[in-house]
Amino acid sequence: MLALHAAPMAASSFEQLANELAAEYTVLTMDPRGIAHSTVADRGADVTPETRADDLARVIEHVDAGPAAVLGSSGGAVSALALAQQRPDLAPTVIAHEPPLAELLPDRLELRRSHEANRETYLSGDRLGYWKQFLATAGIEMPDEAVEEIFGGDLPEADARDERYFVERMELPATYWRPDIAVLRETPTRVLIGIGGESAGQFCDRTSRALAEELSTEPVLFPGGHTGFVDEPGAFAACLREVLAKAS
């Protein structure tokens, strides 16, 4: 079984990639806690990587199709790393694609200030300002007109609810999470670090390379950038097949 997990992106973001892989794998996708079709009792509580890892473990067990190779991307990569620490029996291979782990970087204090300032901008009601700051912090270059076209308008109610939940309850707990390097070195799970080939110099490229160095492993380059699995699903699937074949 192959589990595809992201955060805050919903399961639907993996639709094309899952279709590419469905002939070879039982593919499991899920909405992260509080996003899209996933309900949560207390929307005022932070969602930690450990909580999402437990959710993922429960879904894998519920499906009952054996352990799963796990591809986690962005915040989902942080969840996958937490799963490798908590339940290695369920995940013989974990591929953490661009985990945003600011605490592994030498400029982590400056990054904390930036992320917290971004959050305050959003909570003040300036959504467009937040996304401009977010992209700058992430090191993702985008023309102003494109940013305004994507983030300048109003969202449907459900999407607005999910976006706010991400900013309020998901973003900082994932960004500030520090993996237990000693546990990840010793876990029976094979932990691989994925980086988008077009992400060079970006925040998640830096964090991924820092984690790979901590684990004494070479990162795996995947097609596209941070959302390569959405933008280039065919090429991403081909790369993932190769990685999984080598890991087996």
Residue 15's domain is classified under what CATH number? 3.40.50.1820
Among 195, 213, 214, smallest CA distance to 203 is for 195
Residues in the chain: 248
At 227 the pLDDT is: 96
Contact 232, 208 (CB under 8 A): no
Q: Tell me the one-letter amino acid at 29.
A: T
Angle at 70 (CA atoms; ends 221, 135), nearest 5 degrees: 55
Give me the pLDDT at residue 247, please.
86
Please report, in tens digits, the pLDDT of each residue of the chain (248 residues total): 999 999 999 999 999 999 999 999 999 999 999 999 999 989 999 999 999 999 999 999 999 998 999 999 999 999 999 999 999 999 999 999 999 999 999 999 999 999 999 999 999 999 999 999 999 999 999 999 999 999 999 999 999 999 999 999 999 999 999 999 999 999 999 999 999 999 999 999 999 999 999 999 999 999 999 999 999 999 999 999 999 999 87
**Last-in-domain residue among 172, 194, 212:** 172
H-run or E-run covering 52? helix 49-63
- Fill in the DSSP letter of residue 167: I
- Split into its structural domains, the chain has a count of 2
Both 128 and 138 in a single domain? Answer: yes
Output the CA torsion 49→36→138→118 (10° steps): -90
Mark whether 186 and 83 lie in a shared domain.
Answer: yes
Quote the domain boundaries for residue 158.
Answer: 108-172
Query: Do residues 99 and 112 share a domain?
Result: no
Last residue of a domain, one of 141, 157, 172: 172
Count the Cβ atoms, other than its own, within 10 Å of residue 187.
Answer: 18
Residues 89 and 189 grouped into a single domain: yes
pLDDT in the model for residue 66:
86
- Our measurement of the distance from residue 16's CA atom to the centroid of its chain's CA atoms, rounded to an integer in Å, reads 17
Collapsing DSSP to helix, strand or coil, 107 comes out as coil
Whether residues 11 and 89 fall in one domain: yes
